Amino acid sequence: MRKRKEQSEGTLWTAAFVISAVILVLIFAATIFAPVLAPADPDALDLKHVFASPSLEHLLGTDKTGRDIFSRILFGGRMTLTGAFAVVGISMVLGIPAGLFAGYYGGRGDRIMMWFTNVVVSFPPLLLAFVFVAVFGSGFSKVVLALGIIYVPMLARTTRSVVLTERNRTYVEAAESMGYGTGKILFGHILPNCMPTILVQVTLDIGNAILDLAAMSFLGLGVKPPVSDWGAMLEDGRVYLLSQPLQALAPGIVIVVTVVAINVFVEEIRRYLNPSERKLPAYKTLVRRGLISEEKAL
């Protein structure tokens, strides 16, 4: 037991990281291979088996129209996760370059961007999403676009804060003295050194996007029937929560497990990348591994 603990010290492979990574891999794999794993058509109606109890034929039972809940969770996960990645993708395409240029150049453009991001961040994301939907109309693609734009200021501010630290490094001064262009310095030198922090924020945004997309679908602003996603399934099962609790509990548990696994996964990565929080091997462990000599340490 002690040997196993020592092996995990100073590495990324902690128990929390491995468990969360395995859960995420299983969830992503299940949604990707939903056509193979799903026992039934997620949209097929079967009025003879309405509210069927869990069985070998229907692992999680059926809903009010006889549709297989397990199949709908698998296909609904494809919609929810695809939408979450699309939201984050939009924010990356717009937010990272904005943060790079604002942090590198500073000046009036930086002040305007910070003022804009502070205003946007002060509002709840769902409230801003409601405004976009009211202007452009409802629908899953429009909700994804709205959330993607709303996530831009948050990612731009994170990128800017890292660039402010990196732009004063020696390698940036060396690149400037060698005559490299701004694009080469920003995207070839500064951005690669900022990516660990940016990727942590991006991965965390995926969990937030899952919650926001589920909330929008729960309110009827996302996918339209008969298409399923986890938020829409929550809304369908809400009415039958007391009589048929599995209708809402199944998608709700999947959402909670997915988001918690993402948050734990990101936290372990952030902790590993932060030297002040990294748990280093004990002195005796270093000596036993031959990394330091006892005479030199004394």
The domain that holds 159 is classified in CATH as 1.10.3720.10
In a domain, 46, yes or no: no
- What residue numbers bound the domain in which 21 lies? 2-37+66-297
* 256-263 long-range contacts, CB within 8 A, separation 24+: 257/23, 257/27, 258/23, 258/24, 258/27, 258/207, 258/210, 259/207, 259/210, 259/211, 260/20, 261/20, 261/23, 261/24, 261/27, 262/20, 262/24, 262/203, 262/204, 262/206, 262/207, 262/210, 263/204, 263/207
pLDDT in tens, 73-97: 999 999 999 999 999 999 999 999 9
- Domain membership flag for residue 80: yes
Q: What is the pLDDT of residue 19?
A: 93
Is there a domain that residue 56 lies in? no
Give domain status of residue 259, yes or no: yes
In a domain, 191, yes or no: yes
Would you say residue 8 has pLDDT above 50? no
Q: Is residue 48 part of a domain?
A: no
How many domains are contained in the chain? 1
pLDDT at 93: 94
Give the residue-averaged pLDDT of 153-173: 88
